[in-house]
DNA sequence: CGTACATCCTCCAGCGACTATAGGAGCAAG
DNA sequence: CTTGCTCCTATAGTCGCTGGAGGATGTACG
């Protein structure tokens, strides 16, 4: 009887795919767990928590390196959380910028689509705007 | 006297990096231009236009394969622009979804940052929310 | 106990859209 | 003629996974 949790179970419980769990181990985001005699990885509840933390952080758009820092912070509860705050704030700034950029994008796409008279390419507003950036109202950054 | 435009010039004129211009040639997005005796690529005004079209399309978030289609359409002005319209509309739907997702994200990040009392990690709202997805108000999809 | 089947293992290649590096060769100005 | 910029090819790396091949292990059932 083995008390360890199999990789498939932690995957299900955490919402991180099996292959991705192994990938995280490979890049050192998750410690290599003990193995069964047959060589299978055996996890515990802590690992599920850690993976859930990672998945949620990824959903919030944090990069792996940032998550590495956040995980280190989580491991030292007595430390100041200034770093976590800084990382989250930086991400918030990014997200706001992205929303602004995408909103400009949306406006331009709508202009393109609305302007299209569904005729020939010759007079297509979509192609026209793509060809001539000068027809853009907004200056777009990376979207 | 050589009438061709050097890669550096088309790069500047179109806003596409030199390495990226060569990359586009490699993947067949841009035709291989004639060369000088010394083996250097020589472009013309049409190429600058094409690259500008590509860059603008990329800024609008279109994928390379979609741009391939859009470029083909541009080359045949007598055709219907229904395809261009479809591609642009699909992109618009994507952009709208992304904005919605990022807005939810923004709300959650703000909740994290606002809740942080700048004390120890132990009681840090940022770490707390990352660890426990149940504390999220919104269900986030890929952001 | 045998066997079928699910799950797991490692290794390696690929995705998209570039970007960067090494190690040269071309070319124009001073 | 030499300096220094631009250009060339070829290859490997980026990020965060994802997929497949080909085999081993674990388990449930008869």
Q: How far apart are CA A111 and CA A1, in angstroms?
A: 65
Write down the CATH number for the domain with range A1-62: 1.10.1660.10
- Could you read off the pLDDT of A48-90 as tens digits, one per residue? 999 999 999 999 889 999 999 999 999 998 888 888 999 999 9
Distance between A39 CA and the closest CA of chain B, angstroms: 29
Q: How far apart are CA B82 and CA B104, in angstroms?
A: 33
Q: Which nucleotides of C are covered by protein (CB under 7 A)?
A: 7-10, 16-21, 25-28
Q: Tell me how crowded residue A45 is: count the other CB atoms within 10 A of its CB.
A: 10
Within window 113-142 on A, which residues have Cβ closer than 7 Å to strand D? Answer: none
- Could you read off the pLDDT of B35-57 as tens digits, one per residue? 999 999 999 999 999 999 999 99
The pLDDT score that the predictor gives to residue B1 is 46
The pLDDT score that the predictor gives to residue B103 is 93
Instruction: Tell whether the model's pLDDT for residue B143 goes beyond 90.
Output: no
Instruction: Tell whether the model's pLDDT for residue B79 goes beyond 90.
Output: no
Distance between B3 CA and the closest CA of chain A, angstroms: 24
The whole-chain average pLDDT of chain B stands at 88
The whole-chain average pLDDT of chain A stands at 88
In the block, residue with structure tokens 């992304």:
B98
**In angstroms, what CA-CA distances link B136 with A56, A102, B132?**
10, 24, 8
Chain B residues lying within 8 Å of A133, measured CB to CB = 52, 55-56
Q: How far apart are CA B27 and CA A29, in angstroms?
A: 35
For residue A136, the 8-state DSSP code is -
Q: Which range is least confidently modeled, A9-18, A90-99, A124-133, B129-138?
A: B129-138
Give me the half-sphere count of Cα atoms (radius 13 Å) on the Cβ side of residue B3: 2
Residue from B107, B97, B99 nearest A101 by CA: B99
The pLDDT score that the predictor gives to residue A135 is 64
Mean pLDDT of the region A99-104: 90
Chain A residues lying within 8 Å of B84, measured CB to CB = 116, 121, 124, 126-127
The pLDDT score that the predictor gives to residue B100 is 92
Overall fold of domain B1-79: Multidrug-efflux Transporter Regulator; Chain: A; Domain 2 (1.10.1660)
CB A112 within 8 A of CB B91: no
Mean pLDDT of the region A85-101: 92
Chain A residues lying within 8 Å of B108, measured CB to CB = 60
Residue from A23, A71, A18 nearest A46 by CA: A71
Contacts of B110 (CB under 8 A, 6+ apart): A92
Spatial distance from the CA of A130 to the C1' of D7 (Å)? 30
The answer to whether the CB atoms of B105 and A60 lie below 8 A apart is: yes
Partner residue facing B106 (CB), from A99, A105, A110: A99
- Could you read off the pLDDT of A24-54 as tens digits, one per residue? 999 999 999 999 999 999 999 999 999 999 9
* Range 103-132 of A in CB contact (< 8 A) with B: 103, 105-106, 108-110, 112-113, 116, 118-122, 124, 126-127, 129-132
* Amino acid whose CA is nearest the C1' of C6: A8
Partner residue facing B89 (CB), from A78, A113, A122: A113
Per-residue pLDDT band at B137 (split at 50, 70, 90)? low
The answer to whether the CB atoms of B102 and A82 lie below 8 A apart is: no
Per-residue pLDDT band at A115 (split at 50, 70, 90)? confident
Burial call A75-86: b when 16+ CB within 10 Å, e when fewer: eeeebebebbbe
Higher pLDDT, B138 or B63: B63
Give me the residue spans of the domains in chain B: 1-79, 80-143
Shortest CA distance from B94: residue in chain A = A106
Instruction: Tell whether the model's pLDDT for residue B12 goes beyond 90.
Output: yes
Instruction: Tell whether the model's pLDDT for residue A141 goes beyond 70.
Output: no
The pLDDT score that the predictor gives to residue A1 is 46
């Amino acid at each position: 009887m083995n008390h360890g949790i199999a990789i498939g179970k932690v995957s299900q419980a955490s919402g991180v795919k099996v292959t991705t769990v192994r990938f995280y181990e490979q890049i050192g985001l998750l410690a290599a767990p003990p193995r069964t005699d047959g060589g299978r990885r055996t996890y515990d509840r802590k690992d599920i928590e850690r993976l859930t933390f990672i998945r949620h952080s990824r959903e919030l758009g944090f990069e792996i390196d940032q998550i590495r820092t956040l995980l280190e912070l989580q491991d030292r509860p007595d430390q100041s959380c200034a770093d976590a705050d800084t990382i989250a704030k930086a991400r918030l700034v990014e997200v706001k910028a992205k929303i602004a950029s995408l909103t400009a994008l949306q406006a331009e796409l709508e202009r393109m689509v609305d302007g299209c008279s569904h005729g020939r390419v010759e007079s297509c507003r979509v192609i026209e705007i793509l060809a001539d950036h000068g027809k853009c109202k907004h200056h777009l950054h990376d979207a």
